[in-house]
Structure 1
């Protein structure tokens, strides 16, 4: 059994009713917490990375441990997805969560959802060949395939709502104050 198969076995396939119950329960609980104490809305996430191998990184996020690497052409061993692939994966997975959350809130049904993200990156800045461009993606495209009984117009409105509320899309779309320190 692969690690992915082991992880997928931990994520139970839930019925639409169970998913609706969980989404409603989570939304209600957060609304109650934040109403009682506005400070409860402020969360801080912490992830720690440790360099391993040629250019790989062992990442610890809470109780979860995962590997990030680069393909051979970028000095890696291709033992795991690259940092930019994880970034696109974070965008896709956040979109899935927010689509499900707002579909529930708006009374829409999602039978199946599949999201594809593609990002274009020019490596000239990464390798110091040309300092004028961006080091990161210069274009990202997200394709959302939803099946369900609702109308195309309703799903398009859902997409607009999701785009306005998705935290990882916000990271991609807007500059975030970031600081660093060498210790």
Structure 2
């Protein structure tokens, strides 16, 4: 009987797979180009649904997902909805929390840091005068977002501060929010 040794992990990540991925992308940078996609269908009022399944990455179309991920966007009654789901700006907070968390865990693992506990709380302020075009000077979208992270890890405070600064600078969603990104809206 040939039993396979269990994978060596840190923070729930397979260390051998992490090394393989880093080596592959370091040696073949073209494989690091990914394209993620979503489709959306309006239902009624402020309700609409997004489906996510396929993406392109590591030089090929991914086939690992057998079903769509489905997300219902809605609005609270004060914004003319019926709480069909979180609203899009709340999903943005969810995406930001998830990406900063994943980036922190991934880079802690690569640095040999074990995380014992990690949680985040996000809040963002919006002035709806911008969205509703009631004040042309008002910002459209979040004016600011605060991420409060509670983290316990087996490293010094300085190492933790460096890790969090690195994670903020290397989180794809955080960087997308923090810098101008061209978005084209086209009728097809």
TM-score range, shorter chain: 0.7 to 0.9
Residue 156 of structure 1 deviates from its aligned partner by 0.8
CA distance in 1, matches of 2:10, 2:113: 13
Say which one has the larger Rg: 2
Gaps of 5+ in 1: 1-16
- Moved beyond 6 Å, runs of 4+: none
Hey, what does 1:8 align to over in structure 2?
A: none
Greater percentage in strand: 2
Secondary structure in 2 aligned to 1:155?
helix
TM (norm. structure 1) is 0.84
- Number of residues of Structure 1 aligned to a counterpart in Structure 2: 167
1:49 aligns with 2:40: yes
Hey, what does 1:39 align to over in structure 2?
A: 30
Residue 109 of structure 1 deviates from its aligned partner by 1.7
CA distance in 2, matches of 1:107, 1:60: 36
Hey, what does 2:94 align to over in structure 1?
A: 89
Greater percentage in helix: 1
CA distance in 2, matches of 1:23, 1:119: 34
Residue 141 of structure 1 deviates from its aligned partner by 0.8
Hey, what does 1:60 align to over in structure 2?
A: 51
CA shift in 2, pair 1:128/1:99, >3 Å: same
CA distance in 2, matches of 1:110, 1:70: 36
TM (norm. structure 2) is 0.82
Gaps of 5+ in 2: 1-7, 54-67
Hey, what does 2:83 align to over in structure 1?
A: 78
Q: Which stretch of the first structure deviates more once superposed, 19-28 or 51-60?
A: 19-28
Residue 35 of structure 1 deviates from its aligned partner by 3.6
Cα displacement string for residues 138-157 of structure 1 (whole angstroms, at most 9, x for unaligned residues) = 11111110023322222111
